[in-house]
Structure 1
């Protein structure tokens, strides 16, 4: 997203952490989220339909469905159809990992995560991406941060992240095109896969170590604020992103 007006989905208002219900995987833990910011939490994870950019669309809608959640991870899908505002993100339907506030990046031993996903129709303009915020203030609002890390596992259509390309880098055993830019006062690092990575298993701490060692990221002063994965639609559809498995372990 090269234009300043193309704010990232998680810069929209985010809901606070909610207490988790019973961890048994049953229909009581499933949810349908069709409101603009419809939210659900359980088993250490949270979900938001987050249609923060719907005002830029001439037409369209989106709903997100929680298919299952337990201590081992979550399953969910989101169906959308957006027209108009070609260069504007319409939403960031996502699943997020809940964690204790005040975790400093340098103190984290592990940010291991895995995800398996697929799109039913790829004649769209969208991405599938992790979105992670950090801030010097451990109580910073979860709607933004001092720094943002995005890991684009999939890119469909002529869409781009904020900033400009710094070339190709190798992190977590893969090659990524790195983009760096500013979203207001927040510095954004976006790692873009050259082709869709439908199954991903990595330690996100590796990306922060790379940013610290090569991009001047001040890891010593930054706290983890948000850890999410989801999709940012621009236009297209109807289509469905299915996340058959997502988990994260942060400590």
Structure 2
């Protein structure tokens, strides 16, 4: 989960591809290096790097259009074994003021890979909601995480409530608190490198099984990325991430 504020970076370069689609690229090595375009955003987001004894990370925007964004992040981190060092992510820019109960669909798809999986990290969607539609985008009242991959001995916040079936798949659901924010983490049993789903189905499950107040909560951020803990140099690649929220 990202715990840092978004900071804008001027490290953006763009060149026209066609009149409809533009090819855009950026190299983001600053702690919160940021890029946005075509309704998407990418952040290097090294929010937990102070817990490391060594390492670094850079994130690269490869391509973007209205139908999605492609990017990759290369990192290596040592020390602070049980601390998340960063959350490089691609996000869908969302309109503020949307209550979860009023959203019909959150259709999304992603294809991703790791060059070396001898690491401690997860690959996860991260979605914040809050009663205040203008809540800062670094946290929320509630957090939904969908763990598509888990490498090494890492676990979500909270305790396991057992297995559940959501959006046609079986997940182990962990529930706990990060400070005052309630966190729901749906963890796949093995990596899902190509994934498509309607994320609204997870909120429906949270509402029915966990009492999530969908009629009171607004969507704050909708992101997909990886949380590195430790590992030698590796590259996390997102071939395409897309989302359609309506």
Separation in 1, partners of 2:7, 2:224: 15
User: Where do 1:29-40 residues align within 5 Å?
Assistant: 29-40=24-35
Deviation readout 1:94-145 (Å, 9 max, x if unpaired)? 0010121100001101100000000000000000000000001111111110
> Pick from 65, 78, 85: which aligns with 1:83?
78
* Structure 2: tracts of 5 or more residues without a match: none
> Pick from 21, 26, 37: which aligns with 1:24?
21
Separation in 2, partners of 1:11, 1:224: 17
Separation in 1, partners of 2:211, 2:7: 31
Shift >2 Å, 4+ stretches? 21-26
Find the counterpart in structure 1 of residue 100 from structure 2.
Answer: 105
User: Where do 1:232-247 residues align within 5 Å?
Assistant: 232-247=227-242
Deviation readout 1:162-201 (Å, 9 max, x if unpaired)? 0000000000000000000000000000000000000000
Separation in 2, partners of 1:74, 1:127: 20
Deviation at 1:24, TM superposition (A): 2.8
> Pick from 117, 126, 131: which aligns with 1:136?
131
Separation in 2, partners of 1:124, 1:64: 18
Separation in 2, partners of 1:201, 1:25: 24
Separation in 2, partners of 1:50, 1:15: 9
Find the counterpart in structure 1 of residue 155 from structure 2.
Answer: 160
User: Where do 1:1-251 residues align within 5 Å?
Assistant: 8=1, 10-15=2-7, 24-26=21-23, 29-251=24-246
The RMSD of aligned alpha carbons is 1.3
Separation in 2, partners of 1:138, 1:163: 26
Find the counterpart in structure 2 of residue 5 from structure 1.
Answer: none
TM-score (ref. length: structure 1): 0.93
Separation in 1, partners of 2:4, 2:156: 17
Aligned residues: 238
TM-score (ref. length: structure 2): 0.94
Separation in 2, partners of 1:99, 1:117: 22
- Residue 210 of structure 1 aligns to a residue in which SS? helix
Deviation at 1:12, TM superposition (A): 1.2
Deviation at 1:147, TM superposition (A): 0.1
* Structure 1: tracts of 5 or more residues without a match: 1-7
